[in-house]
Amino acid sequence: MHPAISVIFFTVMSGAGFGLMTMIGLGFPMCDGLIASFLVCLLGGGLAVAGLLSSTFHLGHPERAWRALSQWRSSWLSREGIAAIATLMVFALYSLIWIFTGTRIALLGWVVAIGSIATVYTTSMIYAQLKTVPNWHSYLTPVCYLAFSFASGLALAGAVGNAKTVLGISLPIAVVIALAIAWIAKSIWWKRADKVGFSETGSDTGTATGLGHLGKVKLLEKPHSGKNYLTKEMVHQIGRKHAFKLRMIAYVLGALVPVLLCLIALIGAPTFFLLLAAISLIAGLFAERWLFFAEAKHAVSLYY
């Protein structure tokens, strides 16, 4: 499928923002003071909001985006919007109380954390629910989204917070563990995506053209002489060489470099190196998310 920059930015940045909000809500130790708490809340909420706003640029009529909220009974996109707005409202209340009183209310924090996780999950389900895209239609899709959100949120929290350990584990090592889990899940996801095809969903050229009852169907030429909306948005081809290079870029920027920076953080200046690790991870996720869309094959491509 066509990898829209706005959607890539949305999934990466909002994932990092809600990941940081999850850490804040769970009570991750942060620096004291009005300015420090304000900047931490601004970073988490700002990333989430920036990502959500960017997603509207992919719509034909961004001014109508609010209408998507009415379809919450059947639409994961609608559920995502509702979950995001509700979570951000609670986070705003949590942040104001923290900033002006210095108190972090645990109950509100847990609501923020649960809401943030739910929002990232609903985002992933927008894609995981689609049987027409075999690459995405897997429980591994939400696992990867949640794992990367958690890893990026933990790295950002480590950069802006003052914790030295997490559950008795040195913070840089905890980030390495989170990165390992996320990239192992993604590697399994890629391995499955390379093998899965339309046959698993019962789709083929016969079902796409409606002529399957006549026998095996072969396309002699394209149904259109030129491009249309479906061929631009749903049919995107990327060579194996380019896909392999981008996967390596994703692994290097999103896994190798952050891990090395985390190991250096064990020696000294953990805040600085964890911040670099978070930035590198986010850069790697842009490559990973670009491939997530570019390598996806929609069933409509069978017709073309």
Q: Per residue in 97-135, pLDDT tens?
A: 999 998 999 999 999 999 999 999 999 999 999 887 888
Which amino acid is present at 257? V
The pLDDT assigned to 230 comes to 54
Angle at 140 between CA 194 and CA 241, to 5 degrees: 25
Averaged pLDDT, 236-251: 78
The pLDDT assigned to 31 comes to 85
Averaged pLDDT, 280-303: 82
- Give dist(CA 68, CA 87) in Å, integer: 17
Averaged pLDDT, 270-288: 94
The CATH number of 5-302 is: 1.20.1630.10
Residue with the bigger pLDDT between 30 and 234: it is 30
- Give dist(CA 195, CA 59) in Å, integer: 32
Averaged pLDDT, 63-79: 73
Structural contact between residues 26 and 160, judged by C-beta atoms closer than 8 angstroms: no
Averaged pLDDT, 10-38: 93
Averaged pLDDT, 32-41: 91
Q: Is the pLDDT of residue 220 over 70?
A: no
Mean pLDDT score across all residues of the chain: 85
Averaged pLDDT, 238-251: 81
The pLDDT assigned to 176 comes to 96
pLDDT band of 203, cuts 50, 70, 90: low
pLDDT band of 237, cuts 50, 70, 90: low
Which amino acid is present at 185? A
Mean pLDDT check: name the lowest of 2-11, 85-94, 151-160, 285-294.
Answer: 2-11
CA distance from start to end of the chain? 13
Q: Which of 57-61, 153-157, 167-171 has the highest mean predicted lDDT (pLDDT)?
A: 153-157
The pLDDT assigned to 71 comes to 73
For the chain, the structural domain boundaries read 5-302
- The first and second tokens of residue 21, run together, are 């909000």
The tally of CA atoms less than 13 A away on the side-chain side of residue 239 is: 3
The pLDDT assigned to 146 comes to 97
Helix H or strand E encompassing 263: helix 257-265
Averaged pLDDT, 41-63: 81
The pLDDT assigned to 75 comes to 82
The pLDDT assigned to 157 comes to 94
pLDDT band of 243, cuts 50, 70, 90: confident
Cα 177 versus chain centre, distance: 19
Averaged pLDDT, 3-25: 92
